[in-house]
Amino acid sequence: MRKRFYGHVVPVRLPVRLYGLGVLVLLLTAGCVSPGTSSPTRASASASATTSRAPAPAKVAAPWRPGDPQLGAQVLWYTYPGETDASVRTNSLRLVNYMVGRHMNAISVTFPFATAGPTASRVAASADTPSVRHLAMLLDTAAAAGLRITVRPLLDEKNLVAQDPLAWRGSLAPADRAAWFRSYEAFLAPYLTLAARHHASTFVLGVELTSLEDDPRWRSVTATARKSFSGELSYDANWDDYVSRHVPVPVEHLGVDAYFPLAGLGDDATVAQIAAGWERWLNRKSTGKLPRIVLSEVGIIAEDGAYRHPAVWKSVGQGGAKPNPTVQKRWFEAACRVARARDVAGLYWWNLDFHADPEAPSDSLTSFLGRPAESALTTCFRTWPR
């Protein structure tokens, strides 16, 4: 397997998405240096609202109820210096209205945090971590629209790869595990309080932290989280981790970042062939319905060859592969077909950049905005039985 990171290709044991985001500056002292990524789209920041309060968002026609499928998208938010209350309100309203218009009933808010390297024993918020105040504005807007809310911190990988090209968030090896988990609990605390106070139904305690999943200290993480958040606690496993073993993190629900490689399929593969490939992967774990599993990330880059390595994400113009929006569209259609057949608890498309204008064409092949996949996801949710 391989992944692409900032313009060069390196072999890795387990591929993951890379988000192309800008340089982070750590907010804590020694022991944790902030990661860097390429800058997110900033078009909406310059068009910030002139009033202190945004208009009311559109309302979800059929708000989520217990037992309903969670049908949504991951909103990925890397902040930057100078982001204002007005621009956050504008972006929040625009994204929430877009999601309601695409028949979504749920939103998952993904935001980064940092560590100094693969063996570091501390984690922290960074300059690209949105403030609690600004996150609350997005959560309140989503709640006003009737969207079900998930809060989802995600460890950024830039510092890991800078020290070891083979490293990723799933291969952490803290020098002091006890210190790492203490630091992690301290980092999570204000976001758990945020989730409790601003209408969140689910808090994701970890994402793709494969090498740490067997640690008994997760029991402490869960117990501490319960003191401030009474909603659902979940954990999102990497696709290969999910199918190969029991994921022992003690939470109510498990999510799967679903990037199943289909090495035998060419770019002309049909939706039925792609769906069959997904089914073969899922059957390695179990057959039949999956009512307790959320497909927490479903996405693929719109280019030739992506079925062979759907977890490989790179900046537009890198790698030389030919753009192919049909590849992306059929992947979305197949994922929808499988998710409905398996009766999953939820499906979240990856991803919506918090700063993106959904009505403007995207020049990034990693985005579904303005591409045929956008109509595929809309049809998927519009026709999903509820």
Task: Report yes or no on 333 lying in a domain.
Answer: yes
At 361 the pLDDT is 78
Residue 58 included in any domain: no
Asked if the structure places residue 253 within a domain, the reply is yes
Asked if residue 44 is part of any domain, the answer here is no
Q: What is the pLDDT of residue 321?
A: 80
Residue 25 counted as domain residue: no
Assigned domain for 107 exists: yes
Does 18 map to a domain? Answer: no
- For residues 225 and 192, what is the distance between their CA atoms, to the nearest angstrom? 7
Q: What is the pLDDT of residue 318?
A: 54
* Total domains, the chain: 1
Hey, what's the torsion of the CAs at 357, 359, 360, 365, to 10 degrees? 90
Q: Which domain CATH number covers 79?
A: 3.20.20.80
pLDDT tens figures, 216-256: 999 999 999 999 999 999 999 999 999 999 999 999 999 99
User: How far is residue 52's CA from residue 37's CA, in Å, rounded to a whole number?
Assistant: 31
Tell me the residue range of the domain where 202 lies: 70-382
Q: Decide if 201 is inside a domain.
A: yes
**pLDDT tens by residue, 37-64:** 333 343 344 333 334 566 999 999 999 9
The number of helices, as runs of H, and strands, as runs of E, in the chain is 9, 11
Q: How far apart are CA 335 and CA 312, in angstroms?
A: 17
Q: Residues of the chain whose pLDDT is less than 70?
A: 1-54, 314-320
